[in-house]
Structure 1
Amino acid sequence: MAPAKLEAEDHQRDAEFNRILHGKSAEARGGFLAMRNKDAEAHKAAVDEYFKHWDNKSAEAETEEIREARRAEYATLTRHYYNLATDFYEYGWGSSFHFCRFAYGEPFHQAIARHEHYLALQMGLKENMKVLDVGCGVGGPAREMVKFAGVNVVGLNNNDYQIQRATRYAAREGLSDKLSFVKGDFMQMRFPDNTFDAVYAIEATVHAPSLEGVYSEIFRVLKPGGVFGVYEWLMTDNYDNDNPEHRKIRLGIEQGDGISNMVKVSEGLAAFKAAGFELLHHEDLAERPDEIPWYYPLAGSWKHMSSFKDVFTIARMTWWGRGIAHRFVGAMETIGLFPKGSQKTADSLALAGDCLVAGAEKKLFTPMYLMVGRKPE
């Protein structure tokens, strides 16, 4: 594959679009409460810009040219995906936008935090290190890293709305002195060489058009001897692109999760090494012999729930919970409280959920392929 051509950044344009689309909704509590009063015209523009990559493009008819078009617009695709999906994520999942493993009796949010702690442990994060969070979302993992390891975190994000929400949450928790957020494209970071003691990414670099490209940028900004740790979304090496069912699952995940170019485990490892890292550890944590599967909340599986604290989280993911949310979002859209296209976004997220579960059950997909590497001295 030829190196991906990088989109030109325009922070002023993005900030103005964010101001028009989201207004003061970044100050709302989150979830559905933040979805009110979005600008209808700007929201339609975001919907049109995002879904042009997916509408009328079936897995059967997919070509390399179609995939290349997505890669060429990776930054716009990702930015508008999170303009549309962030409020849904906070409603259904909280402020840490990632999956995790579960232990018996462990509440959902405790398991989410443990997954973050495990990455910090594998990387050897220490007090007052300067650490970069690549693709930080609304800052849930960054806040946890600060509290758990005492590090100073810079969160990098190309979506202004998420940066606003992350900044607000950090201030609310009294973490602003150790946590900041920067607008930028992780394929062309504006940090000088050798800036950070450590870098991590949690289910974010999957949005890159080229894993080697984003890993190489991470390598550049990392100090010699510094460590990079990543939980990567990858298709397993069981995935066969010539199998129509496999391809449909992969495309459903990509559409519902704003991904331009998901690749296989073998390609991810090759990209990690090609970027220059000394590979210290790699493992598919989804293959650990856990009694509770990582995807059980997404599947709405009551039989795997071992903490009553998670009743509402699981209920939202059941078929009837999704149905209620579908009808509610549709009703709010009809009466004008939610912008047009909200239900289409919700349906796309639901499709992704189904494909993620199918991919996991068929051993075709993992959201937690752990790679830890060091930049040579």
Structure 2
Amino acid sequence: MTSALQPRWPTPDLHAAIKDHYDGLIELYESLWGEHIHHGYWAEGEPDPGRHAAQVRLVEELIRFGPVPAGSRVLDAGCGIGASAVLLAQRLECRVDGITLSAEQIGRAETKAAEGGVSGRTAFRLADALHTDYPDGTFDVVWALESCELMPDKRAFLAECLRVLKPGGTLLVATWCARDDRLDADESRLLGRIYRDFVVSHVLPLGHYAELSAGLGFTDVRTADWSERVSDTWKLSSDIVKPVVRDPSMVWKLVRAKGMDIFRFLNSVPLMKQAYERGVMRYGVLRATRPL
């Protein structure tokens, strides 16, 4: 493998960087992307529903890909500000435990759950998704929406998912992926810059996730490449960021509030757009079952 497909930081440094990044930029993320801070899904041949509707559509498509049964006990591993957990609780009456490394995200998720009327079916807490304290066989579904790319040890994460799932339970992952493991030096540098700016450990080709899952004992492992359905996310995100970048007073206001790392954050959007256009970055989904 090339170096771009290996962890960028030691795990303690990565966890500290993730916490600082999301605690510091949570308001900016939500103001730019909305409550669903992840890719959107644009169905082929359908009218453009708008960016926010496309983000909800991606959650709906992942639910269908599982599928996620109504009333499931769900672990949302890397729950962000809780938008997916709230949707699962509202639409499917799931009971959702959301875990994250960011205290600021927990506070925002709890507020969203209260506003959505699902505080009784959701719980959010600080926890490392690689090493949770849930008993074996706790959950019907483990849901990981754009969090797997943050995990420094993909195999350990998948093994923990297997452990906490009930027999017959479903793992659902949607994650940034590398095109393959034959990246040239320039492609590796591009991914490395994205890792730095988005505080990502590393990405893998989608097939590697399938191999790891099967090797751990998961069955009914299925994958799908959604890159063509989600890539418009970065065209639209570039349009959102441009006015900020072009307004020096806005940039320096953000620098005073958030620090110099804001430059890396603003630069990360065109880098992701470039990575999709060059085919270096892909977007994959995986579902797998814990055997009975």
Confirm or deny that 1:350 pairs with 2:239: no
Alignment-derived partner of residue 244 in structure 1: 185
Confirm or deny that 1:124 pairs with 2:67: yes
Give me the whole-angstrom Cα distance separating, in 2, the residues matched to 1:320 and 1:127: 42
Q: Taking structure 1 as reference, are residues 74 and 274 closer, same or farther at Cα in structure 2, changes over 3 Å only?
A: farther
> Are the aligned partners of 2:162 and 2:218 in contact in 1 as well (CA < 8 Å)?
yes
Superposition TM-score, scaled by structure 2 size: 0.90
Pairwise mapping of residues 136-285 of structure 1 onto structure 2 (< 5 A)?
136-237=79-180, 240=183, 243-285=184-226
> Are the aligned partners of 1:131 and 1:151 in contact in 2 as well (CA < 8 Å)?
yes
> Are the aligned partners of 2:254 and 2:262 in contact in 1 as well (CA < 8 Å)?
no
> Does the residue aligned with 1:95 lie in a helix, a strand or coil?
coil
How many residues were matched structurally? 288
Q: CA deviation at 1:68?
A: 5.9
Higher strand share: 2
Give me the whole-angstrom Cα distance separating, in 1, the residues matched to 2:8 and 2:273: 26
Which residue of 65, 74, 86 maps to 2:26?
A: 86
> Does the residue aligned with 1:177 lie in a helix, a strand or coil?
helix
Q: CA deviation at 1:238?
A: 6.8
Q: Taking structure 1 as reference, are residues 67 and 205 closer, same or farther at Cα in structure 2, changes over 3 Å only?
A: closer
> Are the aligned partners of 1:225 and 1:374 in contact in 2 as well (CA < 8 Å)?
yes
Q: Taking structure 1 as reference, are residues 127 and 192 closer, same or farther at Cα in structure 2, changes over 3 Å only?
A: same
- What RMSD over aligned residues (CA atoms) do the two structures have, in Å? 2.4
> Does the residue aligned with 2:113 lie in a helix, a strand or coil?
helix
Q: CA deviation at 1:285?
A: 0.6
> Are the aligned partners of 1:70 and 1:261 in contact in 2 as well (CA < 8 Å)?
no
> Does the residue aligned with 2:96 lie in a helix, a strand or coil?
strand
> Are the aligned partners of 2:8 and 2:195 in contact in 1 as well (CA < 8 Å)?
no
> Are the aligned partners of 1:216 and 1:276 in contact in 2 as well (CA < 8 Å)?
no
> Does the residue aligned with 1:330 lie in a helix, a strand or coil?
helix
Q: Which blocks of at least 5 consecutive residues in structure 2 are unaligned?
A: none
Alignment-derived partner of residue 35 in structure 2: 95
Q: Taking structure 1 as reference, are residues 349 and 82 closer, same or farther at Cα in structure 2, changes over 3 Å only?
A: same
Give me the whole-angstrom Cα distance separating, in 1, the residues matched to 2:206 and 2:63: 22
Alignment-derived partner of residue 112 in structure 1: 55
> Does the residue aligned with 2:47 lie in a helix, a strand or coil?
coil
Code of the residue aligned with 2:253 in structure 1: it is A
Give me the whole-angstrom Cα distance separating, in 1, the residues matched to 2:69 and 2:7: 40
Q: CA deviation at 1:279?
A: 3.7
114-123 or 278-287: bigger deviation: 278-287
Confirm or deny that 1:299 pairs with 2:238: yes
Q: CA deviation at 1:333?
A: 4.7
Code of the residue aligned with 2:62 in structure 1: it is L
Q: CA deviation at 1:155?
A: 0.5
Q: CA deviation at 1:246?
A: 0.5
Q: Taking structure 1 as reference, are residues 137 and 108 closer, same or farther at Cα in structure 2, changes over 3 Å only?
A: same
Give me the whole-angstrom Cα distance separating, in 2, the residues matched to 1:226 and 1:122: 14
> Are the aligned partners of 1:254 and 1:260 in contact in 2 as well (CA < 8 Å)?
yes
Code of the residue aligned with 1:286 in structure 2: it is S
Q: Taking structure 1 as reference, are residues 239 and 357 closer, same or farther at Cα in structure 2, changes over 3 Å only?
A: farther
> Does the residue aligned with 1:153 lie in a helix, a strand or coil?
strand
Which residue of 250, 261, 264 maps to 1:328?
A: 250
> Are the aligned partners of 1:117 and 1:148 in contact in 2 as well (CA < 8 Å)?
no
Give me the whole-angstrom Cα distance separating, in 1, the residues matched to 2:226 and 2:25: 26
Residues 286-315 of structure 1, C-alpha deviation per residue, up to 9 Å, x if partnerless? Answer: 145x8x834321232xxxxxxxxxxxxxxx
Residues 312-361 of structure 1, C-alpha deviation per residue, up to 9 Å, x if partnerless? Answer: xxxx23x334322x531413655xxx25x1xx222111222121111100
Alignment-derived partner of residue 21 in structure 1: none
Alignment-derived partner of residue 13 in structure 2: 73
Give me the whole-angstrom Cα distance separating, in 2, the residues matched to 1:373 and 1:332: 42
> Are the aligned partners of 1:203 and 1:231 in contact in 2 as well (CA < 8 Å)?
yes
> Does the residue aligned with 2:24 lie in a helix, a strand or coil?
helix
Residues 91-125 of structure 1, C-alpha deviation per residue, up to 9 Å, x if partnerless? Answer: 10012121022242302211111110111112122
> Are the aligned partners of 2:255 and 2:262 in contact in 1 as well (CA < 8 Å)?
no
Q: Which has the larger radius of gyration?
A: 1
> Are the aligned partners of 1:212 and 1:274 in contact in 2 as well (CA < 8 Å)?
no
> Does the residue aligned with 1:121 lie in a helix, a strand or coil?
helix
Alignment-derived partner of residue 369 in structure 1: 284
> Are the aligned partners of 1:119 and 1:229 in contact in 2 as well (CA < 8 Å)?
yes
Alignment-derived partner of residue 43 in structure 1: none
Q: CA deviation at 1:205?
A: 1.6
> Does the residue aligned with 1:373 lie in a helix, a strand or coil?
strand
Superposition TM-score, scaled by structure 1 size: 0.71
Code of the residue aligned with 1:371 in structure 2: it is L
> Does the residue aligned with 2:69 lie in a helix, a strand or coil?
coil
